[in-house]
Amino acid sequence: MKQLFFTLFLGLFTCTLSAQQDLFNENPIVSPQINADNSVTFQIKAPTAETVSVSGSLDVEKAFAPITYEMTKSDDGVWSFTTPVLPSELYRYHFVIDGARSTDPGNAFAIRDVGNLSSIFIIGGGQADIYKVLNVPHGTVALRWYDSPGNDMVRRMVVYTPASYENSTGKYPVLYLLHGVGGDETAWTGSGRAVEILDNLIAQGKTKPMIVVMTNGNVSQEAAPGNGSDGFVKPTFMLPHTMDGKFEETFIDVMKFVEDNYRTIETKEGRAIAGLSMGGFHTANISMYYPNTFNYVGLFSSALGVRPDGGNTTSPVYQNQDEKLKQQMENGYKLYWMAIGVDDMPMLIKGNADFRKKMDDMGMKYEYLETEGGHTWNNWRNYLSIFAQKLFK
């Protein structure tokens, strides 16, 4: 009887394990392995593969094309590669196995950027320490749905409130932080590490406690792919109403919700706006369209001068921009901050240079930072960490 019971128990346990799917199926491969000298070893078991490589932002000096390393196969079917020593940074990478892209099955941490998933890791000891979750007071991140009459839909935004917000009654300044083309309201909390950056800077006393609002700049969407009523749609790089003025025209819906639902300083002294790439384009135009609304403006690798519609839109946002920019200057502001990498796209470098010349010609003051690298999250995370320290002082 005991033997029968034991046999039934084993059978039940085996079935239970099977029913638990991946719960007990731990991958025995350790990858990535960050070595003592900050080189990194990648491993993946693919015994029948003919070629395996690792590709990604594995060289912070690379502007666009991810660097690719061929991996070496051992007798047990495990492919491996060890990088050169890497500087402190957040890195993203993927494997290519006989031509097929794959995340690292030994690494549970991945980020989506438009339609691609990449595995990630952080090397500390420098700039990337600010991207880590450290032992400091943490803010709250909320997914908020708001009514957007201008777009005839309910839409989603991400709102960060600092650690002190919930236990206080005071009003806080607001930074509206905008993503680039193909991104959505989750871009800055994922690839951008905005929450970690703000938590750490506030804890270090390097920036003022602030609310950060991260919107979806694609006004044809309710929310990030997979989070709206359209279900698990394939993420798309270009969507209807991309950079045609609709986002800027309806941005007042975002601001109204925030100021109706949070304790904010409802003057331009308590408002900042910044964005990367397309979000920088949106930032420049929103701050001109509402010229006495923001005291702080930040353009990160801004897509100035880029117009997907060829400049044929009739949106009032893009009409009489020289006059609007002059009015913004005359109304006054505390900081207009611009940054771009020297290896960025030539059309963006030219667009930024042309915009700065226009500002120079009318005597409009700004701060300009030129860095190494190109159109990358490495730069944008760094720009946010610099810009945030200049706000609301």
Q: What is the reported pLDDT for 313?
A: 74
pLDDT at 369 over 70: yes
Give the separation between CA 119 and CA 58, rounded to whole angstroms. Answer: 12
pLDDT (tens digit per residue) in 206-227 = 999 999 999 999 999 998 889 8
Instruction: For 52-91, write each residue's pLDDT tens digit.
Output: 999 998 875 655 567 899 999 999 999 999 999 999 999 9
> Cα–Cα–Cα angle for 127, 377, 123, nearest 5°?
35
The pLDDT value given to residue 24:
59
User: How confident is residue 12, by pLDDT bands cut at 50, 70 and 90?
Assistant: very low
Q: At what angle do helices 321-331 and 278-289 cross, to 10 degrees?
A: 70
Paired tokens of 158: 């991400």
pLDDT at 41: 97
- Given a cut of 90, is residue 377 above it in pLDDT? yes
For 208, which DSSP code?
A: -
Name the residue with higher pLDDT: 144 or 241.
Answer: 144
Cα dist. 119→57, 74, 89, 255 in Å? 11, 23, 14, 34
Quick check: 338 and 352 in contact, CB under 8 A?
yes
CA 159 to centroid of chain Cα atoms: 14
Say what the alpha-carbon torsion angle 191, 205, 173, 225 is, to the nearest 10 degrees: 10
Q: Rounded mean pLDDT of 165-185?
A: 96
How large is the C-alpha radius of gyration of the chain?
A: 24
**DSSP tag of 314:** -
Share of the chain above pLDDT 90, in %: 78
All structural domains of the chain, each given as residue ranges with its CATH number in brackets, are 21-125 (2.60.40.10), 131-388 (3.40.50.1820)
| Percent of the chain predicted with pLDDT > 70 | 90
Give the Cα separation of 313 and 240 in Å (integer): 13
* Average pLDDT, integer, range 163-192: 96
Q: For the chain, give the mean pLDDT.
A: 91
pLDDT digit string, tens, across residues 287-312: 999 989 999 999 999 999 887 666 66
- What are the C-alpha distances in Å from 146 to residues 7, 50, 141, 142, 152? 57, 51, 16, 12, 11
Asked if the model's pLDDT at residue 187 lies above 50, the reply is yes
Arithmetic mean of pLDDT, 4-14: 46
Q: Are strands 153-161 and 140-148 parallel, antiparallel or unpaired?
A: antiparallel
* Peptide linkage before 149 cis (omega within 30 of 0): no
What's the one-letter identity of residue 194? A
pLDDT tens for each residue of 257-267: 999 999 999 99
